[in-house]
Amino acid sequence: MSAELSYMGVDLTRPRVAFFELSSCEGCQLQLLNKEASLLDFFNLLQVVQFREAMSEKDDTYDVAFVEGSVTRADEEERLKIIRKRAKILIAFGSCACFGGVNQLKNRFADQDWVKREVYGDFAIDTQPVRPLADIVEVDVNIYGCPVKKEEVERIVTDLVVGKTILYPKYPVCMDCKANENICLFDLGEPCLGPVTRAGCDAWCPNNRMGCWGCRGPAEAANVEQLKNIMAEHGFSSETLLDRLECFGGFSAFVDGLRQPQQDTGKQGSGI
């Protein structure tokens, strides 16, 4: 692969890039290795110096750090701070990094010691409430999704390399869904967060007849109260709506206003 690139006649420098994982399934990194037809062109934009899923070589000198996963331990917090110090640009890569992801569901339990005993028994383990990267360090770019959409990653990385402003869709998933001529999943008896979730995934789940779970977080001016009415009109409870809104952590600013007051049992938080 050539190290020389140009855009409209202007020479470009391939940034040195490293990929890291905290608490996650590493599925977002694996997603980069899919879509083989564009894989070589994509990596030709970058000098990848660290990527455990794809190479054994390792170099700690990099310009851009892609960090997948949420922070769930003290050592991850320290590691993230070191990555941030070394990187000129830090990218929160996927829903876990952006919002806490599925991992943050454990935060709904008020008694974290009880959680550790139930999951790990007497085995000592360092675990703490889950936090997204932005709670610890400054994040320069977010790439949303669980997993990320390869085409969107390619677009964002290309914009970074050529110095273009990175833009995200302001409209909800419903617009992509309608553009793809899908039948509304509410009409098929399936709950869906498409009306309030940030687009950019090309309605990935609804295209496959699965209601949106909001992994990309809220669209601009998301009307969650109206979605609650839509869910009720189709026979879905507020609890069903909360289950979806809380799944990935992106709608945390909305759930408290929707949650019914419950007595604290000491073992589980008010979201259960």
pLDDT of 4 reads 65
Per-residue pLDDT reduced to its tens digit, 171-229: 999 999 999 999 999 999 999 999 999 999 999 999 999 999 999 999 999 999 999 99
Cα→Cα distances 52→48, 55, 63, 83, 113, Å: 11, 6, 17, 15, 33
Q: Which amino acid is at 37?
A: A
What pLDDT was estimated at residue 60?
A: 95
What are the chain's domains? Answer: 5-162 (3.40.50.700), 173-258 (no CATH)
Residue 1 has pLDDT above 50, yes or no: no
Write the pLDDT tens digit of every residue in 68-109. Answer: 999 999 999 999 999 999 999 999 999 999 999 999 999 988
**How far is residue 264 from each of residues 59, 100, 111, 167, measured CA to CA in Å?**
49, 23, 10, 42
The mean pLDDT value of the chain amounts to 90
Distance of alpha carbon 184 from alpha carbon 209, whole angstroms:
9
Q: Has residue 140 got a pLDDT over 50?
A: yes
At 251 the three-state DSSP class reads: coil
What number is the average pLDDT over the span 24-29? 95
In this prediction, residue 261 carries a pLDDT of 53
Mean pLDDT within 95-124: 91
Give the length of the chain. Answer: 272
How far from 114 is each of 62, 127, 132, 231, 262, CA to CA, in Å? 41, 12, 22, 34, 19
Average pLDDT over residues 247-251: 96
Rounded to two decimals, what is the model's pTM?
Answer: 0.89
Q: Which residues of 227-245 are buried (b: 16+ CB within 10 A; e: fewer)?
A: bbebbeebebeeeebbebb
At 49 the three-state DSSP class reads: strand
